[in-house]
Amino acid sequence: MKQFLWPSIKLTLLSLVLLSGLYTLILLGFARLTPGKGKGEMIEWKGKTYYANIGQSFTDDRYFWSRPSAVGYNAAGSGGSNKGPNNPEFLQTVKDRIDTFLVHNPGINRAQIPVDMVTASGSGLDPNISLQAARVQASRIARLRGIPEASLVALIDKQTEKPLLGLFGPAKLNVLRLNIALDDLK
């Protein structure tokens, strides 16, 4: 047994140095090469600074709504709900969100509501909504702002982030960027 103890200690120390030290420094180096220098993507608008990659709460009918958050958009406590799709409490929450969405978006039916407008993401901090989620809100915003709906559809198309390499992931819109562009739209 003594013959295995010293090699085990050496392997543990080597792994500690490589995986805790060197690997971390390599990742930090790559992060420093990104636009946010590893600190996240920041947007400055009207004297305030926002994180573009963390969901923000938008509930005013004059703006595009964000995806619901299971953690109240609190980045200190990222997390989703542990309730499964058959949980009565979860089903009631989704039903309440659907009913609220229908009240604020007259003229659409339940089938037109995209799932990302009534369910929270796994982190509870998703900054994006689907293209369908933005388009289904366009008529409400156009009516309240007195903007032609075609202008909003053009804005949505302009703000849409295409899938990575045209293959990976869905088209999406960053709600913060979309709402800033909406406020800048005259």
Q: Are 64 and 141 in contact (CB under 8 A)?
A: yes
pLDDT digits (tens, 9 = 90+) for 101-144: 999 998 899 999 999 999 988 887 889 999 999 999 999 999 99
Q: Which amino acid is at 80?
A: G
pTM greater than 0.85 (yes/no):
no
Residue 36, pLDDT score: 72
Residue 47, pLDDT score: 87
Q: Tell me which residue has tokens 């949980």.
A: 87
CA distance 64 to 57: 10
Residue 81, pLDDT score: 76
Q: How does the average pLDDT of the chain come out, rounded?
A: 88
Six-digit token string for 46: 């009207």
Q: Which amino acid is at 85?
A: P
Averaged pLDDT for residues 8-18: 90
| Confidence band of 150 (pLDDT split at 50, 70, 90) | very high
Instruction: Look at residue 3 and tell me whether its pLDDT is greater than 90.
Output: no
Among the listed residues 130, 116, 121, the one whose alpha carbon sits nearest the alpha carbon of residue 172: 130
Q: Are 45 and 176 in contact (CB under 8 A)?
A: no
Radius of gyration of the chain from Cα atoms?
A: 22
Which range (79-88, 128-137, 138-147, 153-162) has the least confidence?
79-88
